[in-house]
Amino acid sequence: IEGGCRDITLLGQNVNSYAGDTDFPGLMRRILALPGDFWLRFMTSHPKDASRKLIDVMADSVHVAHQFHLPMQSGSDRILRVMNRHYDTAQYLATVDYLRARMPDVTLTSDIIVGFPGESEADFAGTLEMLRRVRFDMLYSFIYSPRKGTPAAEMPDQIPKPVQQERFDRLLALQAEIGAEKNAALVGQTLRVLCDGVSKTNPALYSGRTDGYKIAFFPGDARDVGRFIPVRITRADAFALWGERAD
């Protein structure tokens, strides 16, 4: 922070399962007590340790980015048990509901695996229903592929690739529709954006991230890089925002 960092990510596999001389919410509190103007975020979290205590720490600090990556993997309780995930869809939804009660503007992202061994059409339909219920801002989605030495690679009922691809395409289409609707709701709002430089796709614009980690494009100059810029959103699609400076 003293060196000028403005966006800090605590990174680890199941990072919220951290246990040292304090738990993960306690570690966050120590960082959040430091002086400076910064955002604090973390990934990847595990739903089983996404506690209300953690969510309360996030909601009570102006420095915590209102972004939560909560890997769901599947919307089928049966598949979640086979994956050994240690939660079910009811628990997952309870966490989502509490997140949104404490932080109504939270950006929620997730991981989804399509075509896990034994996944039936009904199991996959459960995943699509969870997308409609939760309305994620963005997904990191994958088609299952066997890895030698893992229990899943030896499971019966491996899903044929054409079936996996067809389900994957349906998942992407639904999420693109939801993402576009979520971003369209931001048009007209002024968001705080941390500028990270010239856009890689349009050199006439600068780009940056909101605290929800949505990418935004706007007119700027070199002095903006590394600074928080207020941007009024004028256009949106499923994956990005465009706007004008509001300062």
The DSSP letter of residue 101 is: H
Of the given ranges (12-16, 90-94, 136-140, 213-217), which has the lowest mean pLDDT? 12-16
Mean pLDDT of 216-233: 96
How would you class 198 by CB atoms within 10 Å of its CB: exposed for 0-12, middle for 13-18, buried for 19 or more? middle
Q: Write out the H or E segment, with its range, that includes residue 82.
A: helix 77-83
Query: What digits encode the pLDDT tens for the residues 124-171?
Result: 999 999 999 999 999 999 999 998 889 998 898 999 999 999 999 999
The tokens of 26 are what? Answer: 């306690």
